[in-house]
Amino acid sequence: MEKVKVAIIGSGNIGTDLMIKIIRSSEHMEMSVMVGIDPNSDGLARAKRMGIATTHEGLAGLVDMPEWAEIKIIFDATSAKAHQYNWGIVEKYPDKRIIDLTPAAIGPFLVPPVNFDANHNVRNVNMVTCGGQATIPMVAAVNRIAKVHYGEIVASIASRSAGPGTRANIDEFTETTAHAIEKVGGADKGKAIIILNPAEPPVVMRDTIFTLSEQGDREAIRESIHEMVQEVQKYVPGYSLHQEVQFDDIPKDKPVFIEDLGYRHGLKTTILLQVIGAGHYLPEYAGNLDIMTSAAMATGDKLATMDVAAM
């Protein structure tokens, strides 16, 4: 089967890991060009050694390359600010899609097992954040059984796995993730917290999800969560429950106060996850970066399948 040619903008850790994933295991995509702005970056050097065309002149350099004409999907692994510029160029070419791995959120949020079908025709989709990719499937799993009023997530990642891009986008991380908990996860109100854990040796990504929902069948909620975990594991094998799902009643006579929602009662569900990276380019403790690149590749492969079918 003919593969769809793709380019990656951003030759840092995320872009390089994504490149290696695509080369090693993508069923429907073929790496065409790696794009960076630092001619001495390890990502560009690795791409050259692997026979991939490169440019250190950013997206403008890619547009001037002969490969540009055949590229159908562009992955943006730069920054929220840079993505605004990049999309301003790509949107002028109607035959090309962009998958945004930054917190820019110009396009709709996309979490593959939750809302791919609703967004497969959109030319710019946003992969939310690492915390969002890990936790929103769990909020959605609860919400499809019992309406979620409030969803709060705490993402704890190794400090070593938080590069300059992650650190520069902390505010965008919390705002984007909280908004996506509502838009994609289905919660009336979302909140996100990120913790950079300085422990040595570095710890793997851990995520805690709290939901307050209407009362529902606890066994059905538990089964829905386990089913969703299995869906995510199809593209992130290191994604798993760290402990069994926990339930607590918030009685009507002892409600909790939630900002913007007021006093609420119902069923509190606590979900504890861990994400171990695949170790393709990044260390296994960098599960936060691995889940982003894995989700992006899963999205790209699905989109590529549709593009091939349309040829």
Per-residue model confidence as pLDDT tens digits over 117-147? 999 899 999 999 999 999 999 999 999 999 9
Catalytic residue among 52, 130, 212, 303: 130
Euclidean distance between the first and the last CA atom of the chain, given in angstroms as a whole number: 11
Here the contacts of 77-83 (C-beta below 8 Å, separation 24 or greater) are: 77/8, 77/9, 77/10, 77/12, 77/14, 77/15, 77/18, 77/101, 77/102, 78/9, 78/10, 78/102, 78/165, 79/165, 79/168, 79/169, 80/104, 80/105, 80/169, 80/172
Candidates 204, 222, 205, 218; CA nearest to 271 is: 222
pTM above 0.85, yes or no: yes
pLDDT at 309: 53
167 given a catalytic annotation: no
Q: How confident is the model at residue 199 (pLDDT cuts 50, 70, 90)?
A: very high
pLDDT at 172: 82
Q: What's the CATH number for 130-284?
A: 3.30.360.10
pLDDT at 307: 67
pLDDT at 173: 87
Burial of residue 94 (number of CB atoms within 10 Å: 0-12, 13-18, 19+): exposed
Lowest-confidence region among 96-100, 160-164, 196-200, 258-262: 160-164
Please report, rounded to a whole number, the percentage of residues in the chain having pLDDT higher than 90.
91
Residue 311 has pLDDT above 50, yes or no: no
Digit-coded pLDDT (tens) for 13-43: 999 999 999 999 999 999 999 999 999 999 9
Q: How confident is the model at residue 170 (pLDDT cuts 50, 70, 90)?
A: confident
Residue 186 has pLDDT above 90, yes or no: yes
* DSSP assignment letter at 280: S
Please report, rounded to a whole number, the percentage of residues in the chain having pLDDT higher than 70.
98
> Could you confirm whether domain 4-127+291-310 is CATH 3.40.50.720?
yes
> Domain coordinates of the chain in residue numbers?
4-127+291-310, 130-284
Lowest-confidence region among 78-87, 132-141, 160-169: 160-169
Residue 308 has pLDDT above 70, yes or no: no
Please state whether 165 falls in left (phi above 0), alpha (psi between -120 and 50) or beta. alpha
